[in-house]
Amino acid sequence: MQAWSTHGLKYAAAWFVATALFGFIVEEIGVHTGWPFGKYTYSNSLGPAIGGVPLVVPLAWAMLSHPILVLSRRISRRWAPLVFGWTIMAWDLFLDPLMVDAGRWTWSAESRDIPFISGIPLSNAAGWLLCGVALGALLHWGLPRERRKSAPTSAAGDVILGWTLFSGVVGNLFFFDRPGTALVGGFALGLTLLPYFFMIWITRE
């Protein structure tokens, strides 16, 4: 795990607990109130659940949160929470249509759909942006920035981020018949990933 190898066990434990707990609480609120994402329900196909929220869902929150935190701090330490919120929202633009088409959850929100992404309410993107900024602030200001002297690079997380963008665009364009998702998701995620990868490239040794 990159967080562990780069910053140590204490950091990794704090990051994982904070992210998973944040995700679980937000999802509990969302499932029972419809805020901030809009009204939705999970199917039984995602496994064991507590209070209507499958246990795998908070883990999904944690899956990309550390690579996105690294990206956000690299792009702008001052505006890292905003960069974090935008990037995790953009990631969900690829995830949500795929999971809805697979029957993992169902939307009944009254909000209009995200432009060019049918079946996914605009309220979901707004909710992810809001919660992403809050989580980004919690992680950015709550976790130290110092790395171990012999820490590995962020290459593993960078590969995951790059693959998310590539597979999201190619998959939706050629395999899932969702060109709108490829366009909107690719543009949104590319707004932060492309500058990040360019910064890595120009500072490489």
pLDDT at 13 over 50: yes
Residue 2 pLDDT class (50, 70, 90 cuts): low
Confidence (pLDDT) at 5? 57
Nearest to 128 by CA among 44, 170, 185: 185
Count of CB atoms situated within 10 Å of the CB of 33: 10
The whole-model pTM stands at: 0.92
- 169: Cβ–Cβ under 8 A, 6 or more apart, which residues? 182, 185, 186
Confidence (pLDDT) at 15? 92
Based on the structure, what is the number of domains in the chain?
A: 1
List the structure tokens of 38: 């809009």
Q: Which domain holds residue 173?
A: 2-202
Distances, alpha carbon 37 to alpha carbons 22, 57, 72, 140, in Å: 15, 15, 23, 23
Residue 4 pLDDT class (50, 70, 90 cuts): very low
The pLDDT tens digits for 25-59 are 999 999 999 999 999 999 999 999 999 999 999 99
Confidence (pLDDT) at 153? 60
Paired strand residues for 53: 50
Q: What average pLDDT score do residues 63-92 get?
A: 95
Confidence (pLDDT) at 149? 47
Confidence (pLDDT) at 166? 97
The pLDDT tens digits for 51-74 are 999 999 999 888 889 999 999 999
pLDDT at 130 over 60: yes
Judge whether 129 and 89 are in contact, CB under 8 Å: yes
Judge whether 83 and 194 are in contact, CB under 8 Å: no
Confidence (pLDDT) at 124? 97
Count of positions (residues) in the chain: 205
The pLDDT tens digits for 133-181 are 999 999 999 988 766 545 456 677 899 999 999 999 999 999 999 999 9
% of the chain beyond a pLDDT of 70: 91
Residue 121 pLDDT class (50, 70, 90 cuts): very high
